[in-house]
Amino acid sequence: MFSLKNQHVALISVHGDPAIEIGKEEAGGQNVYVRQVGEALARQGWQVDMFTRQSSADQPAIVEHAPNCRTIRLVAGPEDFVPRDEIFEFLPEFLQKFLDFQAESGIEYPVVHTNYWMSSWVGMELKKRKKIQQVHTYHSLGAVKYKSISTIPLIASTRLATEKTCLETAERIVATSPQEREHMRSLVSTRGKIDIIPCGTDIQRFGSFSQLEAREKLGLNPEDKVVFYVGRFDPRKGIETLVRAVGRSKFRDQANLKLVIGGGSRPGQSDGMERDRIEGIVKELGLSDMTIFPGRLGDDTLPAFYAAADVCVVPSHYEPFGLVAIEAMASGTPVVASDVGGLQFTVVPEETGLLAPAQDDAAFAEAIDRILSDATWRNQLGVAARHRVETYFSWEGVASQLSELYQKLMSQPAAEKELQKVGA
Ligand code: UDP
């Protein structure tokens, strides 16, 4: 029987460092995904090396997270933060450093799982030099993203071409929701092999508090009506829609309505500017007294905020998956989310929360008010939400599916190549 002992796998995430603190410096879902998948694969027996770009001179080159699971930082370009749209020119150096690391350590990686389009480029170049099976997760599709923004970056044509070639040539693409697969097929290519394996969440970490305990810990009153957002400050996250919805809420003039907007930001950087803009709208609508900006939420407070909330709102313009929704659901909190992408997969309307058209603040207000109006129904939605996450979205389950996929690819490389030519 196939044994995982001493079997190496490389996860490549050039710009999403799995060892960095989440919730700041553009670090979000991809960083969490790579780290959690890596650690769960290691628990299942794999030797996991996660490769990323060194983005500050004082970062250690290697971080050991757990037995058989480490982050390896490669120097490619300046040892400084570089916005993701400007990293492409440093990828040949990243590739060379990866090959140097392999040569020095003597480690071969039969499976390389790449994350986001830049890493897919590295994976495809590696394939020209090494015998590897490439698995790829997009995290975001240029073809979807560029439809919804007004200024298209210079790198767009390179990204779109790389994403298409990767879809058509990787041994396997992992879509995290049926909606993401549909977008790959309709907007990128009808060729290539796609499996659906969702993102996961830590069902022990999220779900460890009752609402009352969480409120006590955070100093919130049991009678408060708490509306919660957490995530990066980015206009595409739709925080403006949430603020305007709360401005329209029928509860807005009640003293116990609280809006909590969590997430880190850096003054003068893109996330700092978005936070300033949001604070401006909060002020303009007269919501300052009821709104709290607690900043980046880490391990010590995030689970309590999710549990304390009456409703968690995910108002993104688009979301290929959306980890925040399942983290809230795992915590027994219903979700009001935009009716887009992976949120249509995770949130079941009327069962675990509600969906509203993206950017429609009137519809968000109505959905939020429905949940805030009925505590019994709110609790029923929360119980069903927790159950859905336990059933479908634990990291252990996600890692088991990925592990099976890797093993399948390693045991039948020739057959896979044949299938790929046909474009199943
Ligand atoms: N996050 C966090 N603290 C913060 C803000 C965000 O831990 O202050 C985490 C959040 O819990 C989630 C991730 O960042 O795990 C965001 O992932 P999601 O898929 O929702 O959005 P993305 O950042 O990928 O757009």
Q: Is 344 part of a structural domain of the chain?
A: yes
What CATH number did the domain enclosing 90 receive?
3.40.50.2000
- Residue 182 and residue 252 in one domain: no
**pLDDT for the residue 422:** 41
Return the pLDDT at 299: 86
CA distance 12 to 150: 30
Interval between CA 262 and ligand 1 midpoint (Å) = 10
If you measure from the C-alpha of residue 420 to the centroid of ligand 1, how many angstroms do you get, rounded to a whole number? 34
Q: Quick check: CB of 296 below 6 Å from ligand 1?
A: yes
**82/102 Cα distance (integer angstroms):** 25
Alpha helices in 207-301 (DSSP H): 211-218, 239-248, 270-284
- Matching residue, tokens 């007004």: 150
33: enclosing H helix or E strand: helix 29-43
* 190 alpha carbon – ligand 1 mean position (Å): 31
Task: Tell me, yes or no, whether 297 and 260 share the same domain.
Answer: yes
Q: Is 16 in the pocket of ligand 1 (CB under 6 A)?
A: no
Nearest atom in ligand 1 to the alpha carbon of residue 321 is 19
Residue 260 covered by a domain: yes
- Whether ligand 1 lies within 6 angstroms of the CB of 29 is answered as yes
> Which residue's CA is the nearest one to ligand 1's atom 14?
28
Find out whether the beta carbon of 28 lies less than 6 Å from any atom of ligand 1.
yes
Q: Does 3 reside within a domain?
A: no
Phi, psi of 292 (to 5 degrees): -120, 135
Phi, psi (rounded to 5 degrees) for 190: -90, -5
CA angle 292, 297, 303 (to 5 degrees): 100
Q: Tally the residues of the chain.
A: 424
Closest approach atom of ligand 1 to CA 230: 5
- 253 token code pair: 């003039």
Domain count, the chain: 2
- Using a 6 Å cutoff on CB, does residue 231 contact ligand 1? yes
Angstrom distance (rounded) from CA 167 to CA 265: 34
Mutate to test the pocket of ligand 1, among 201, 232, 237, 300 (most ligand atoms within 8 A of CB): 232
**Shared domain check, 297 and 414:** no
Task: Give, in order, the Cα–Cα distances in Å from 199 to each of 68, 217, 255, 307, 320.
Answer: 22, 29, 38, 21, 10
Q: Which of helix, strand or coil describes residue 110?
A: coil
Helix (H) or strand (E) holding 412: none
Asked if 417 and 385 sit in the same domain, the reply is no
Give yes or no for residue 84 CB within 6 A of ligand 1.
no
Beta carbon of 181 within 6 Å of any ligand 1 atom = no
Q: What is the Å distance from ligand 1's center to 22 Cα? A: 7
pLDDT average per 10 residues of sequence, the chain (424 residues): 76 95 74 96 96 95 95 97 93 98 96 98 97 96 88 92 98 96 96 96 93 95 96 95 98 92 92 96 97 94 98 95 96 98 96 98 98 97 97 93 95 55 42
Verify that 195 and 324 share a domain, yes or no. Answer: no
Say whether both 388 and 400 belong to one domain. Answer: no
Q: Same domain for 407 and 388?
A: no
SS (H, E, C) 354-401: EEECCCCHHHHHHHHHHHHHCHHHHHHHHHHHHHHHHHHCEHHHHHHH
Is 61 in the same domain as 174?
yes
**Domain match, 191 and 215 both:** no
360 CB burial (10 A radius; 0-12, 13-18, 19+) = middle
Decide: 230 in ligand 1 pocket, CB within 6 A: yes
- Give the residue numbers spanning the domain of 215: 211-392
pLDDT at 400: 94
Q: How many CB atoms sit inside 10 A of residue 157's CB?
A: 11
Q: What is the DSSP string of 296-310?
A: S--TTTHHHHHHH-S
Torsion of Cα atoms, 29 then 30 then 34 then 35, to 10°: -50
Decide: 202 in ligand 1 pocket, CB within 6 A: no
Q: Is the beta carbon of 323 within 6 A of some atom in ligand 1?
A: yes
Instruction: Assess whether the C-beta atom of 327 lies below 6 angstroms from ligand 1.
Output: yes
- 360 in a domain, yes or no? yes
Q: Please state, in angstroms and rounded to a whole number, the distance separating the CA atoms of residues 161 and 144.
A: 14
Q: 263, 292 in Cβ contact below 8 A?
A: no
Is residue 326 domain-resident? yes
Cα(417) to centroid(ligand 1), Å: 36
Consecutive H or E run containing 69? strand 69-74
Task: Please check whether residue 298 lies inside any domain of the structure.
Answer: yes
Same domain, 109 and 176: yes
Q: Does the beta carbon of 341 sit less than 6 angstroms from any atom of ligand 1? A: no
Quick one: 88 and 237 in the same domain?
no
32 lines ligand 1 (CB under 6 A): yes
Q: Please identify, by atom number, the ligand 1 atom nearest to the C-alpha of residue 295.
A: 8
Hey, whose CA ends up nearest to atom 4 of ligand 1? 23
Can you tell me the distance from the alpha carbon of 417 to that of 384, in angstroms, rounded to the nearest whole number?
Answer: 42
Distance 412 CA to ligand 1 centre (A): 36
Closest to 195 (Cα-Cα) out of 175, 168, 178: 175
Which tokens is 264 given? 């880190």
3 state DSSP class of 185: helix
Is the residue at 2 inside a domain?
no
For ligand 1, atom 24, which residue shows the shortest CA distance?
29
Dist. CA 395–CA 406, nearest whole Å = 16
Distances (CA, A) of 30 to 11, 15, 20, 207, 333: 12, 9, 11, 22, 23
Q: What is the pLDDT of residue 413?
A: 57
Residues 123 and 269 in one domain: no
Q: Is residue 205 part of a domain?
A: no
The C-alpha atoms of residue 30 and residue 227 are separated, in whole angstroms, by 25
Counting ligand 1 atoms within 8 A of each CB, the residue from 141, 324, 398 with the most, and so the one to mutate, is 324
H-helix or E-strand containing 24? none
CA of 4 to the centre of ligand 1 (A): 31
Q: How many angstroms does the Cα of residue 230 sit away from the middle of ligand 1?
A: 7
pLDDT score at 418 = 46
pTM equals 0.87
**Confidence at residue 72, expressed as pLDDT on a 0 to 100 scale:** 98
At residue 24, the pLDDT reads 64
Whole-angstrom Cα distance, residue 87 to residue 76?
9
Please calculate the CA angle 420-141-326 and round it to the nearest 5 degrees: 105
CA of 294 to the centre of ligand 1 (A): 15
